[in-house]
Amino acid sequence: MMNQLLERLRLLAFGLAATVTVIWIGRRYRRIKQKSQHPRSAPSLAYKSYSTVHENYRIWPDHLLEFTNLPLPIVLGAVALTFFLLGAAIALPFGFLAYYISTPAIYLGSAGVTLVLGAIHWGSIRVHPDYEQLRPVFTIEDVAYFRVLDEWFSRFCSKTGAALASAAVFIFAVASLITAYVTSAATRYKLHLEALRPHLVTAVWYSHKFGVAGFLILLLFAALISLALGTGGRLLILNMRFLLRLQLLPVIPMPTIVRARLRRITDLYVGTSLTWSCGVALFGILFYKDYDVLSGAVLGVLFIIGLLTFALPQAICRRYIIKSHERVCAMGLAELYDEFGMLLEERGERELPLRSNVAGSLSDLYSLTDRPKTWVYDSQGLLLWVISQAVALVAILPHSALMSLLRL
């Protein structure tokens, strides 16, 4: 049985390596051939002064997933398989391979880490064109807008920041792992720490015979999960701060246009929140029957982060639209007073001149100052987000609470 499993793993690894190698060589050959046939004579001027490009602000998962220049699904599959094989390499010398490959938590861990890395890469690529098309709604100079983007995008791709956030998660994970191995069942029950040994990781992982192998493999996956979770969580928090910073910029007095331009940004964060919620659901499955204070707190925090990733951008973008509407109303008042031959003076500084030729008549003025729709969302994205939140919430509910709901 063991020899058959090893043979299948070898064949799977060899087949994947051969496929990746052939595709990589083919792509490299086509790229070299294209360069030789179409040499570039001058640098491209496709980007304006306020634009940013992905190549200048790559996060560490970008380097990992773009290394081979293969299609992303193939790379993500190869990454997940690599994580799995690393654990198998540790299990093999201890005679633990059969238990390893029959443990569902390993597959959840490999899938979860790969999912988060893929989501980070997707957001890292998409954020640049999305914020480029948002530029015209702010009444500042191009160079000033670029400086804001450059400051925050540089923070996003900081390897030091990602390392510190991941280290904080890893310290917590290691402390939990050590506690799971050194405490007795009675102690864990007394302190409500049953989730330290989730039901999807069987007792053999903690046994005297295979304890070392189990600990080393779980330590490896703790490191991988910490890298993904720390980096992803840090990016979500930084993005919320970034949106709050942009809220201080002056907005054009055209709320309908502002709302239209904000659509892609909110869709970006809806997608990010959806992916994060799927990751939370995987954690919930891992601790499904071992719900306690510790696992409930961790899952609750992760769920709230995903919720805020959707709700905060919506609230901030709504504020952009309200500011734009307030601005056009102020301009409308100035135009109205001008029609009466009177001068309107109000307290406070203005971001734009109040008098313009925007309104050609009072009827135009009334239409311009109509209250616009202030919530920005895509209905399809919103529906997917609601479904993902429901799945995540069901996954992190205590088993007893879920059974009670089903009985209702």
Higher pLDDT, 30 or 211: 211
Q: Return the pLDDT at 405.
A: 47
φ/ψ (deg, to 5) at 247: -60, -20
The rounded Cα 233 to chain-centroid distance in angstroms is 8
The tokens for 91 are 């299990």
**CA separation for the pair 170, 15 (Å, rounded):** 33
The tokens for 395 are 């996954």
Q: Return the pLDDT at 46.
A: 40
Does the pLDDT of residue 6 top 50, yes or no?
A: no
The tokens for 97 are 């391979």
Long-range Cβ contacts of 349-358 (<8 Å, 24+ apart)? 351/139, 351/250, 351/327, 352/139, 352/250, 352/253, 352/327, 354/330, 355/331, 356/331, 358/253, 358/328, 358/331
Q: Return the pLDDT at 373.
A: 74
What's the DSSP call for residue 251?
Answer: B
φ/ψ (deg, to 5) at 375: -95, 135
The CA-based angle 65-217-6, given to 5 degrees, is 85
Does the pLDDT of residue 338 top 60, yes or no?
A: yes
Q: Is the dihedral of CA 274, 174, 170, 122 positive or negative?
A: negative
Task: State what percent of residues in the chain have pLDDT above 90.
Answer: 28
The tokens for 17 are 């390596």
Three-class HEC string of 351-387? CCCCCCCCCCCHHHHHHHCCCCCCCCCCHHHHHHHHH
Does the pLDDT of residue 57 top 90, yes or no?
A: yes
- Cβ contacts of 97 within 8 Å, gap of 6 or more: 2, 5, 6, 88, 91
User: What is the rounded average pLDDT of the residues 367-394?
Assistant: 70
Q: Is the dihedral of CA 33, 39, 43, 47 positive or negative?
A: negative
Does the pLDDT of residue 382 top 50, yes or no?
A: yes
Question: Alpha helix locations (H) across 141-199?
Answer: 142-156, 159-182, 185-190
- Please report where in the chains the tokens 């995540």 appear, as a residue: 392
Higher pLDDT, 41 or 260: 260
Q: What is the pLDDT of residues 221-272, one digit of tens each?
A: 999 999 999 999 999 889 989 988 888 888 888 888 888 888 888 888 888 8
- Cβ contacts of 381 within 8 Å, gap of 6 or more: 266, 267, 270, 271, 274
- 3-class DSSP state for residue 138? strand
Q: What is the pLDDT of residues 339-367, one digit of tens each?
A: 777 777 666 545 555 555 544 555 555 56
Higher pLDDT, 281 or 80: 80
Supply the mean pLDDT for the chain.
78
Candidates 131, 120, 113, 121; CA nearest to 50 is 131
The answer, as to whether pTM is greater than 0.85, is no
Q: What is the pLDDT of residues 116-173, one digit of tens each?
A: 999 999 999 999 999 998 998 898 888 899 999 999 999 999 999 999 999 999 999 9
**CA separation for the pair 273, 231 (Å, rounded):** 15
Identify residue 146 by its one-letter amino acid code. F
Window from 50-54, 67-71, 373-377 with minimum mean pLDDT:
373-377
